Structures are given as C-alpha cells and as structure tokens.
Amino acid sequence: MQDGMLDLPESTPIPTTLLTEHALEATDRVIDVQAVTRTYKLGAVEVPALQGVSLAVERGEFVAIMGASGSGKSTLMNILGCLDRPTSGHYYLDGEDVSQMNKDQLAGVRSRRIGFVFQSFNLLPRMSALKNVMLPLAYDHGQRNGHGPSHEERAREALERVGLGERLHHRPNELSGGQQQRVAIARALIQAPPLVLADEPTGNLDSKAGEEIMAILSRLNDEGATVVLVTHEPNIAAHTRRVVHMHDGRIVSDEVQS
C-alpha cells in the first residue's frame, strides 16, 4: 500500500459527497479566528488590545485590514502570523488550532506556512540582499539531499521576481526604501508560503514604490497565495477585494468591494 492511502476494503462504498464537503470545509478556510482577545499586561495596567475578534478568510482571498492607530491591527496580525498567541479564543490556521501551541511549534508553523512582511522591513543591515533572502532557509530542515536549486539560487530567483536581480549584493543601506521592502517580500516568499501577511508594507514608502509593492502582492494573490495586509491608505486598500475595519479591538465592518 502506498503511503497516505486509505486501507479500505473494495466493498466499502466511499460516500464521496461527504468526503468532498468535508475536504472543502477542512482545506478552504485558511484563517479562522474565533472570539479572540489579547490583553497586554503592563504592571498593574491591562490593555485590552483585542476584545473578541472573529474572522474567517478563505484560500485565495486578498484582504485589507484598516482602522485608526491603536485599534488592534498589528496585534491581530501578530496572532495571525503566529508571532503571538491570543489571551482567549481560538485561531485555526488551515484547520489546525494554533492558539495552544508552544513557541517551537509556532516557529515551525511560521516557517512552513507564513510569509510576514513588516512596515519596517526588518532586514539585517550587515547582510547583502541575497543573504537576507536566504535567511529563512537556514531553518528549513527539508531534506533536499543536494537535489533541486541551492539556497542561493532560490534567493536569486526570489529577488529577480521582485525586480531586484541587479541588486543582489547590495546591503539594505545601499537600497531605496521600496527596494528594501521588495527584499523583505522576497524573503517572505522564498518558501512559497500559502499565506502572506503584510503589516503596512507600504507605510514607509512614497506612492510610486507603494504601487510597486501592491503590484507584487496582487500578482502573488493571482498565483494563489492568500494575502492579508494592514494599511491606512484607501488607495492601497482599493487593490484588495475585501476590506475589514477595526475599532477599539473589534471588527466593525467587513465588506467585499465590487
């Protein structure tokens, strides 16, 4: 018997409709956040940054999260990106409850399934673009046994995809803000994560560089990635198909754009 195949006797009829429905349910919802709260404790002070957020995102969606400063957008993104855990409630990523996982398990989920792009790029200043993009592969324990492209070839390819094939050996301070953000995107993409999260990826960029970043994210989405991004700018949100508004740690509207 091949690995992963069900050992069912020939005579057992498989209820295909049930199987299909179950499979769709189990696989099509990438993000399923249920009644999540996150309270930061600062000494005796409690900051209720998320006060009961529920959000479902299907595979292949392109979602913008908007809302005033302090409304909880980054707190939510950090939970979606498995960088933080909810105080209460559940977060199912690809059907798996990640709210209860420990730090090591979360790190594993992050490296396999999520590409995270930050407003501040988070590049290592002493490393070239190429080395920065290769970083996530250092944690990649997938056995390649010398087959397939090397880490460096994959990094070069990722940089070429974001239009930086000519800037492989530049360090971050030798790149423009928009180019630095594209390096950060290439780094987020190197593992081809099914879920791309971007917290104000255009916040530090002029409008032209911002449009280039959005073009890259849109292309990724066209290729099948689920993309969730935070933005303050309506013209950036206009690139997406669905806009979620937050206020005081809650989702106050959730609209599909025509």
Ligand X SMILES: Nc1ncnc2c1ncn2[C@@H]1O[C@H](COP(=O)(O)OP(=O)(O)OP(=O)(O)O)[C@@H](O)[C@H]1O
Helix axes 151-161, 177-189, angle to 10 degrees: 130
Alpha-carbon span 93 to 30, nearest angstrom: 6
Residues with Cβ < 8 Å from 138, sequence gap 6 or more?
A: none
Sheet holding 29-42, edge to edge: 45-58, 29-42, 88-93, 96-97
CB nearer Mg ion, residue 116 or residue 133: 116
**Could you say which of Mg ion, ligand X, none residue 26 binds, taking C-beta under 5 to 8 angstroms by partner kind?**
none
Size of the site for ligand X (CB under 6 A): 12
Nearer to ligand X, 80 or 155 (CB): 80
* Residues near Mg ion (CB under 5 A): 74
Q: Is residue 47 close enough to count as binding ligand X by CB under 6 A?
A: yes
In the bound state, the residue with its beta carbon closest to Mg ion is 74
Whole-angstrom distance, CA of residue 77 vs CA of residue 61? 16
Q: Residue 42: which of ligand X, Mg ion, none does it interact with, CB under 5 to 8 A by kind?
A: ligand X
Binding of ligand X at residue 49 (CB under 6 A)? yes
Task: State the binding partner of 226 from Mg ion, ligand X, none, CB within 5 to 8 A by kind.
Answer: none
Which of 63, 67, 201, 220 touches ligand X by CB under 6 A?
67
Give, as one character, the DSSP assignment of residue 85.
-
Residue among 52, 70, 89, 108 that touches ligand X (CB under 6 A): 70
Identify the DSSP state of 239: T
